Chains A and B, each alone.
Chain A
């Protein structure tokens, strides 16, 4: 069974304090790994898709990387507006559109 584990469950940072979120996964043939951001009361907002080990993608203060067993979301010099829940999900090669999500990491950035 495909599984995704995210750590830590919650992370509190000071503004400007860089850190990383972890996403460990087991999947029967990875088609893609997805990162989403979710604000309270809203739907998940797409951030990145990674397809193969060694791939990296960047957007503003965020950088996502992928290995064969895990993915990291690096946050550089975060700002309070980066506070949100960050969700990681995997899509298997067999299983159509189904995304299997981790429980998420709640990030709080204080000024």
Chain B
């Protein structure tokens, strides 16, 4: 069974630009969550989606947004990029909400 896939794997942007990251969950999984990982803050929860609805949101500014499509694939968007947004963005999928989450390889975003 294929795991969680994330595209692109690496991304370099400049301050003020916006970026869209994509996540394809494990086949049959309906819940997708996003996390940000930085050396200083560790892994922090961004938001979760189930059945195309955002169910929960972490403590991040409104520049961070996401959505989920009918096939459970998800995208997250960061607008007006700041240097501090440089991080590894991880997507995790689970069969249902509260089930074990399986992570993808992440997208490494560098903001210059």
Q: Are B43 and A101 in contact (CB under 8 A)?
A: yes
* Interface of chain B residues 60 through 99 with chain A (CB within 8 A): 90, 92, 94, 97-98
Q: Which residues of A contact B101 (CB under 8 A)?
A: 34, 46, 97, 99
Q: Taking CB as reference atom, which chain A residue is nearest B45?
A: A98
Q: Are B48 and A43 in contact (CB under 8 A)?
A: no
Contacts known (A43-B90, A101-B42, A104-B42); A96 close to B98, Cβ less than 8 A: yes
For chain B, the count of residues having a C-beta within 8 Å of the partner chain is 25
* Interface of chain A residues 80 through 111 with chain B (CB within 8 A): 87, 89, 91, 95-104
Complex CA gap A83/B74 in Å reads 32
Q: Are B105 and A42 in contact (CB under 8 A)?
A: yes
Q: Is B58 an interface position by the 8 A CB rule?
A: yes
Contacts known (A97-B101, A98-B45, A102-B42); A44 close to B90, Cβ less than 8 A: yes
Q: Is B104 an interface position by the 8 A CB rule?
A: yes
Q: Which residues of B contact A98 (CB under 8 A)?
A: 33, 45, 48, 56, 58
Q: Which residues of B contact A34 (CB under 8 A)?
A: 100-101
Q: Taking CB as reference atom, which chain A residue is nearest B58?
A: A98
Instruction: Describe B's contact surface by its main secondary structure.
Output: strand
Q: Which residues of B contact A74 (CB under 8 A)?
A: none
Q: Is A22 an interface position by the 8 A CB rule?
A: no
Q: Are A96 and B56 in contact (CB under 8 A)?
A: yes
Q: Which residues of B contact A87 (CB under 8 A)?
A: 43
Q: Is A31 an interface position by the 8 A CB rule?
A: yes
Q: Are A97 and B55 in contact (CB under 8 A)?
A: yes
Q: Are B48 and A96 in contact (CB under 8 A)?
A: yes
Q: Is A71 an interface position by the 8 A CB rule?
A: no
Contacts known (A34-B100, A97-B94, A102-B42); A43 close to B4, Cβ less than 8 A: yes
15 contacts between A and B (CB under 8 A): A31-B98, A34-B100, A43-B4, A43-B92, A43-B105, A44-B43, A45-B103, A46-B103, A95-B56, A96-B56, A97-B31, A97-B50, A98-B33, A99-B45, A102-B42
| 8 closest Cβ pairs, A-B complex | A43-B103, A101-B43, A96-B56, A97-B48, A44-B103, A98-B45, A43-B105, A103-B42
